[in-house]
Structure 1
Amino acid sequence: MTTALQPPLPSHPVLRLRLAPHGNLPRAIDGAWWPRSYDLLVELPRLLAGLPGAWGHITSVTVNGATWPAVPGRMLVSNQVVRLHRTLVASAPRTVVLLAPGQGRWDLLVVPPDTTEKAAEPLMSAAAGRQV
């Protein structure tokens, strides 16, 4: 009897992130992130690990408190402290703001985890391809 070997499943799901091209013009949105859940303690380390190295070390993250139910004041990501802030500003319900001292600020559109792929694709493309 022979058994077909299946390739192992990836230990970490593929990061669903699209970034806008780097340019000199300021942008309202720098890209889009489509997390797999609303568990920030699981999702944020994956996001930060997938960012370009040129962005530097992200030390501060601001999320919408209505979107992310549990947000501690800080967390350890890759042996670095990241401060977390909650906002309830209605003008930015679906964004995450990333700050790296001396490097810059990046605002990402957050596509809700339960969004279908068909609905998420145009949102991700628009956020990465043109000013939103």
Structure 2
Amino acid sequence: MSATTDRPPLRIVPFRAPTARLALKTVSTSRGPLDGAWWPRSRDLADELSALADVLDPLFGRITRVAVNPTYWPVIPSRVPVNGHGVRIGWFTTELDPHKILLMSHTTGSWNLLVVPPETSAPAAARLMAAASDSSGPPTTASDASGLPMTASALMAAELALHAGSMADTDQDSEEAWTEGDDASSYRAATARPGGLITAK
């Protein structure tokens, strides 16, 4: 007697090394406006999300939804297949900082990441990622004059103000104005600490 099955044969998928450039705050730190930073290689959201999920799914739990501001993403699909499941994509023009991506998981809730523009130079990206993932806590964390942690647009404006010559074609009309003073010293202090880049280029 022989048994038959109508299951398809196993498909062998070659190992793909993680390619997302990502820096995250340590789990024990208090939550703020940002949980870290992501430096995508292009503005192709569908393609870039696969690499990001490869790294974040094991850390955060399966990512089920993503929200972005369409300002810097030319095409926003409604759903993207990632790691064998579909991720819903939503977009918000006024409710979400244009330099931020919101990732949601049923397991760990939501995470906010600064999106470093793909064309940013490596030194500028390293500074931005260090500031967004700074886990030292107050009073030395990157913060504005009020002592609150800086938003994604404020970090981009700070980088542009302090190192405009080292950035590539990043946008210059951030939603939030940034003035040099206490903010500049906080940003410099945060970016001087070693970054937490957790994946290879």
TM-score scaled by length of structure 2: 0.56
Runs of 4+ in 1 over 3 A off after TM superposition: 11-14
Partner of residue 86, structure 1: 91
Partner of residue 104, structure 1: 109
The answer to whether structure 1 residue 57 and structure 2 residue 54 are counterparts is: no
> How many angstroms apart in 1 are the aligned matches of 2:122 and 2:59?
29
Q: Give the length in aligned residue pairs.
A: 122
Deviations 1:4-43 (A, max 9, x none): xxxxxxx767321000111252221000000010011110
TM-score scaled by length of structure 1: 0.84
Partner of residue 117, structure 1: 122
Segment of structure 1 superposing worse, 79-88 or 23-32 = 23-32
Where is the strand percentage greater, Structure 1 or Structure 2? Answer: 1
> How many angstroms apart in 2 are the aligned matches of 1:33 and 1:24?
18
Taking only the aligned residue pairs, the percentage that are identical comes to 39
Q: Rg larger in 1 or in 2?
A: 2
Where is the helix percentage greater, Structure 1 or Structure 2? Answer: 2
Give the C-alpha shift of residue 52 in structure 1. 5.6
> How many angstroms apart in 2 are the aligned matches of 1:13 and 1:21?
20
